[in-house]
Amino acid sequence: MAIEIPSPPKVGMVSLGCPKALVDSERILTRLRADGYAMSPDYAGADVVLVNTCGFLDSAKEESLAAIGEAIAENGRVIVTGCMGNEADAIRARFPDVLAVTGAHQYEAVVEAVHDAAPPELSPYVDLIPQAYDEAGVKLTPRHYSYLKISEGCNHACSFCIIPSLRGKLASRRIDAVLREAEKLVQAGTRELLVISQDTSAYGVDVRHEERMWKDHPVRTHMTDLARELGGLRDGSGQAPWVRLHYVYPYPHVDAVIPLMAEGLITPYLDIPFQHASPAVLKRMKRPANEARVLERLRAWRDICPDIAIRSSFVVGFPGETEADFEYLLDWLDEAQLDRVGAFRFEPVAGAAANDLPDAVPESLKEERYARIMEKTAAISAAKLQARIGRVLPVILDEVGEPDEDGDIGATGRSQADAPEIDGAVYLRNVPADSAPGDILNVRIEDADEHDLFGAPS
């Protein structure tokens, strides 16, 4: 008589917000898979749906609430987690039928809620198979790049931000655990590691940069040591991954990672959230305001590593921002010549100190300033990309197309100056027929526009 093995319960996932939340989603799904759950790609096939929310801005909260509403309408059995989980009363008031609400990176509580909502099927025939928890398990990104979260929380008290109240104070992961996860990811096919946190430069401050043993030698819980060790990882064929640093505050010790970029050990790219340049605005934001020193350091970094790409983000229309403050920012951008820039119109966030500041900037003026900063930064980007025409650059492939009528195969990739999702792209023609996502090709740049490059393998 054939024995019927029960089908495992299925979990659906909607993941919103930043890459740090995406890593949370990956860890939750990895834990659930280890507990015997299967993943569902749609609402219809899921026994329960997880919605990992974002609560940073009011617009993000509305998106999260809309996603919860859609999941309830399509499936009905919904568990809410993530940053907006801190507002459980508001979520339950709007959606009383949610099964459970948990906060950011509360992995055990989420897994327990799933167990309660859709208990795993126990079977001696299945449970004989070991279900080990693997940090490098379920991935929600393409195989060839992975986010590597090194810490939670933040010790800053920026007046526009509520991250510390959502995710707590800085809590650094053990450096040996981070390196072990990174090694597994690289061995499993990751060609690009994207290091993320709320404040990458502060990694290890909370544990006084304690040392741990790794590969028979001690390493400090420190950004520089971490970058050096990540740059030394190799896959099965001896290839080194690209290592890209995000959310880096420009503390003095950041200077020590620039030579690692010049040596080719890590990717020559820094994502630094400057937010503004005017000393008066930075003071109201409760952020460091030594913008002249930053310009000096940018010049010094480029002397050491001419190919370094600097990405940043800026807030326009912060309370009290005058026309003089905004003009100061535009002039500073002319000096800084940043490679990649994102801008955001200031939004009041419930619980943020900035909401109580006087002299709110009218929405129409925010829009006008946003348009001006984007025009400025697009012109800077266009000039910098024009200067790359004729050069041969390494490009990692993200997508490879089908042959056209002439047999030409196109592809989309990124240079070392481009992080996935947020920066530009390199559009390729005539790539080899055996090309695949994750391949790194040497590409001769033939053309450029404001944000993207065009070329062919050299």
User: Which residue in the block uniquely carries the two structure tokens 């008031």?
Assistant: 93
The CA distance from 381 to 386, in Å, is: 9
The CA distance from 13 to 32, in Å, is: 11
- Greatest C-alpha distance within the chain: 83
305 is in an annotated binding site: no
The tokens of 413 are what?
């990739």
Q: What is the 3-state secondary structure (H, E, C) of the chain?
A: CCCCCCCCCEEEEEECCCHHHHHHHHHHHHHHHHCCCEECCCCCCCCEEEEEECCCCHHHHHHHHHHHHHHHHHCCCEEEEEHHHHHHHHHHHHCCCCCEECCCCCHHHHHHHHHHHCCCCCCHHHHCCCCCCCCCCCCCCCCCEEEEECEECCCCCCCCCCHHHHHCCCEECCHHHHHHHHHHHHHCCCCEEEEECCCHHHCCHHHCCCEEEECCEEEECCHHHHHHHHHCCCCCCCCCCEEEECCCCCCHHHHHHHHHHHCCCCCCEEECCCECCCHHHHHHHCCCCCHHHHHHHHHHHHHHCCCCEEEEEEEECCCCCCHHHHHHHHHHHHHHCCCEEEEEECCCCCCCHHHHCCCCCCHHHHHHHHHHHHHHHHHHHHHHHHCCCCCEEEEEEEEECCCCCCCCCCEEEECCCCCCCCCCCEEECCCCCCCCCCCEEEEEEEEECCCCEEEEEC
Q: CB neighbours of 34 closer than 8 A, spacing ≥ 6? A: 131, 132, 133, 134, 137
Q: Which residues are annotated as a binding site?
A: 18, 54, 83, 154, 158, 161
Q: Which residues are annotated as a binding site for [4Fe-4S] cluster?
A: 18, 54, 83, 154, 158, 161
